């Protein structure tokens, strides 16, 4: 998107693109050039069995019209929360650009082929790490983790062919709400909302 189109898009709902995807792609691209590291970092909020929320940063690894994909240990705290409540919220903050994107929707596991392909693309150390870390479980000492890593390194010293751990894989959050927030002077920020209805994406502005 050109800069002028971008400004117009945020001025009235009718001027905004019909779907949120183009705008999100533009903002993420721009963040890639302005943020020092991890422009794809996003805060992921889930809720547990008692409705208690928890939030942490994960990396966005893929997105398209089906949703936002991240990878993790499915037995982790977030994995357990998602198996009980497959709904979540994501929040991106790009400080340098003065922008935030908030996303809400349902979460599904990505299929095994997709998880396998992404796992295979990771460096060997990260693939070993996925086996070594019993993410979110108590760890008696750092040396226990180091020993687990060393043992796996010995086991796979002659090969790069490390299978994906069954408990490790991707999730895709399919949004029905996406809000683009742009910093404005005197706190008069812009908020452009996309709500998914039976008629498709409805666009509206919110007071800041």
Ligand X SMILES: Cc1cc2nc3c(=O)[nH]c(=O)nc-3n(C[C@H](O)[C@H](O)[C@H](O)COP(=O)(O)O)c2cc1C
1 vs 97 by CB, closer to ligand X: 97
- 13-18, Cβ contacts within 8 angstroms, sequence gap of 24 or more: 13/192, 13/203, 13/204, 13/205, 14/203, 16/192, 16/194, 16/203, 18/200, 18/201, 18/203
Q: Counting contacts by CB under 6 A, is residue 109 touching ligand X?
A: no
CB of 89 to ligand X, least distance (A): 14
- 51 conformational bin, left if phi > 0, alpha if psi -120 to 50, beta if neither: left
Which 124-143 residues touch ligand X, going by CB under 6 A? 135-136
Give the nearer residue to ligand X in terms of CB position, either 27 or 171: 171
Nearest approach in angstroms of CB 79 to ligand X is: 6
Catalytic, out of 99, 137, 187, 203: 187
Of 13 and 86, CB closest to ligand X:
86
- Tokens representing 43 are 């805060």
Active site residue 77: no
Q: Compute the least distance from the CB of residue 150 to ligand X, in Å.
A: 22
Nearer to ligand X, 61 or 106 (CB): 61
CB hemisphere CA count around 126 (13 angstroms): 11
CA dihedral (167, 53, 173, 79) in degrees, to 10, reads 0
CB under 8 Å, gap of 24 or more: what pairs does 153-161 form?
Answer: 153/128, 156/124, 156/128, 160/124
Instruction: Please identify which residue in 38, 64, 112, 150 interacts with ligand X, judged by CB under 6 A.
Output: 38
Identify residues 44-103 at the interface with ligand X (CB under 6 A): 54, 56-59, 70-72, 76-78
Q: Closest separation between CB of residue 71 and ligand X, Å? A: 6
Q: How far apart are CA 116 and CA 135, in angstroms?
A: 19
The residues that are catalytic are 187
**Contact positions toward ligand X, by CB under 6 A?**
38, 41, 54, 56-59, 70-72, 76-78, 135-136
């Amino acid at each position: 998107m050109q800069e002028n189109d971008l400004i117009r898009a945020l001025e009235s709902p009718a001027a905004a693109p019909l779907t949120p995807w183009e705008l999100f792609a533009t903002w993420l691209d721009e963040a890639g050039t302005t943020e020092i590291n991890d422009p794809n970092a996003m805060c992921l909020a889930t809720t547990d069995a008692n409705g208690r929320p928890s939030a942490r940063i994960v990396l966005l690894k893929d997105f398209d019209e089906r949703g936002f994909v991240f990878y993790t240990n499915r037995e982790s705290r977030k994995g357990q929360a998602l198996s009980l409540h497959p709904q979540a919220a994501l929040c991106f903050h790009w400080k340098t650009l003065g922008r935030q994107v908030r996303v809400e929707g349902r979460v599904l596991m990505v299929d095994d082929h997709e998880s396998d392909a992404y796992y295979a693309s990771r460096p060997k150390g990260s693939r070993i790490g996925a086996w070594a870390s019993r993410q979110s479980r108590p760890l008696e000492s750092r040396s226990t983790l180091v020993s687990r890593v060393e043992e796996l390194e010995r086991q796979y010293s002659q090969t790069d062919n490390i299978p994906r751990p069954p408990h490790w894989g991707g999730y895709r959050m399919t949004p029905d709400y996406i809000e683009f927030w742009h910093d404005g002077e005197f706190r008069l920020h812009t908020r452009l909302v996309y709500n998914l209805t039976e008629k498709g994406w409805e666009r509206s502005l919110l007071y800041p």
